[in-house]
Chains A and B, each alone.
Chain A
Amino acid sequence: MARILFSVPPLTGHLNPALAVAEELEKRGHQIAWAVHAKQIRDKLPPRAWVYPLDAEDVDGPSIADPQVRGLESVRLFFEDYTLPIALRMLTPLEAISRSFCPDVMVVDHQLPGAALVARKLGVPWTTLVTTTASILKMSPTVDEWVAQQYMSLQCSYLPKELRVERPDFSPHQVVVFSNETLLGNAHPRVDAPYHFVGPTKGNGRRVVDFPWDWLRSDSRKLLISLGTVSRDRDTRFFEVMMAALAEMPEIQAVMVAPESLAERAPLNVLVRSYVPQLELLDQMDGVICHAGHNTVCEALSRGLPLIVAPIRDDQPVIARQVIDAGAGLSMRHGKVTPAMARSTIEKLFSTPELAANAKRLAQSMLAAPGAVGAANLIAAQASPSVRPVH
């Protein structure tokens, strides 16, 4: 049995893959502990989880500073106002947690560099979890250089000089990526790191969410519309445009993950819910309209569903481009799309069989990937490099 310390940011897209991997490791008898911002995500962890809070001293815990920004500006602010301040605040508490728990392995999300720095300083073997492939790509010299500068300033405050590297967020031992190389494509060079592409996890470890399943008809085409948890409450324009377009398309039923205040204005064929059991729902869908969040894209493609991507921020434009290049989706401009354009794009989604065919091709490679089991194998092997004698 190994002692494994997980540390991930309090964001659904980062937590969900880790939950699946942790559940798999726990099933094999390993001792899991979580060093997380408990005020925000304790309710999404297993009820009996061993939790070390990173935010005991914080009043509110971290939040995405300005959810309104988009594109490259959101990448800058995500570093400057979210990732780096969180990293600085967590270094001291996490070092103490790690000395107390004595992990054999640390499992660290790639956007929680504070945990990566602690693993590096203490010399603990560690695995990086990568929940979006945008992070492993070299996008442009300007952006890459800026990212390296951000990491260097963080390291200077904590790590001795000989331990500082250009990309401290990636473990030199192993980097687990929840996607596959077919979707990733070759449009951009990669940061050099020991990657293991395990594909998406299958959703284990998530809490149960209620859903009115009998609302779905057997004779309709079904769409899931989601902008993810960060952008869900940003503004309602996009959702209103979708409702206006779908009001003219009664043959389609859409489940829209949006503020429930929109429900009273929704046409009969649109069901508004603020939280859904996404994986079970995707099993019933024919297509997806989304922000090109990495998990939603991989989950949709695992089921062979074609997508309409409307990227907003962070890694989303990069992932949206992967979907388009793979021939499995169409694009929509999030802040500009009109009801007429939405309607014609939805019609095209369902009348272009190549999109679904390419999505099904990607599904085969996604389903062949080992997912959470593969990630757990890698982490377990790191915990016991040679098989230990059984006592």
Chain B
Amino acid sequence: MSTSYDDVLAVVIQQIRSTVNEDWIEDFEIGPETRFNDDLELESIEFVKIADAIQNHFGNQLGIISWLSGKSIHELIGLSVGDLTGFITSALATPEA
């Protein structure tokens, strides 16, 4: 059974909110266009925590960090919630090796 993009998006947003866990994020609108660097002010260590939380949720290793390490500096700067969601959706659709 595959998980839809929208289902994954809801999980990603939920994990961002619970990992950051500060007052402003409760009301902060998060969507596919939201960027981790500029809009959320997340530092890399927080991003790793969110990636771990998402991987725990889905119960398998999605390879989020190795996916990131293949990105250019320009891609890292512009990295959005939608980019991450798209990667996870396709990783979940690919049978584990």
Contacts and interface: CB of A to CB of B under 8 A. Distances in A.
A340 B26 CA distance: 14
A72 B41 contact: no
A44 interface: no
Most chain B CB within a 10 A radius of its CB, from A72, A321, A335 = A72
Nearest to A320: B43
A338 B69 CA distance: 33
B43 A76 contact: no
A143 interface: yes
Contacts of A140: 44, 69
A341 B26 CA distance: 13
B2 interface: no
A70 B24 CA distance: 18
6 closest cross-chain pairs (CB), A and B:
A71-B37, A336-B24, A73-B77, A146-B73, A317-B43, A72-B77
Interface in A128-150: 140-143, 146
Contacts of A142: 69, 71-73, 76
A338 B23 contact: yes
Contacts, number: 51
A109 to B, nearest CB: 23
A190 interface: no
B96 interface: no
Given A333-B22, A337-B24, A341-B24, A70 B77 contact: no
Interface in B22-63: 22-25, 28, 37-38, 41, 43-45
Contacts of B38: 69-71, 73
B47 to A, nearest CB: 11
Interface string A111-139: 00000000000000000000000000000
Interface string A326-363: 00000001111110110000000000000000000000
B76 A70 contact: no
Interface residues of A, number: 22
- The interface residues of chain B, by DSSP majority, are classed as helix
A380 B28 CA distance: 56
Contact of A341 (B23, B37, B45, B69): B23
A141 B66 CA distance: 12
A76 B74 contact: yes
Given A140-B69, A142-B71, A336 B77 contact: no
Most buried by B among A71, A73, A143: A71
A251 to B, nearest CB: 23
A108 B15 CA distance: 46
Given A142-B69, A341-B22, A341-B24, A335 B77 contact: no
Interface in A43-77: 69-73, 76
Contacts of A338: 23-24
A388 B15 CA distance: 67
Contact of A72 (B23, B25, B73): B73
A140 B45 CA distance: 12
A276 B22 CA distance: 32
Contact of B41 (A141, A335, A341): A335
Contact of B37 (A72, A143, A146): A72
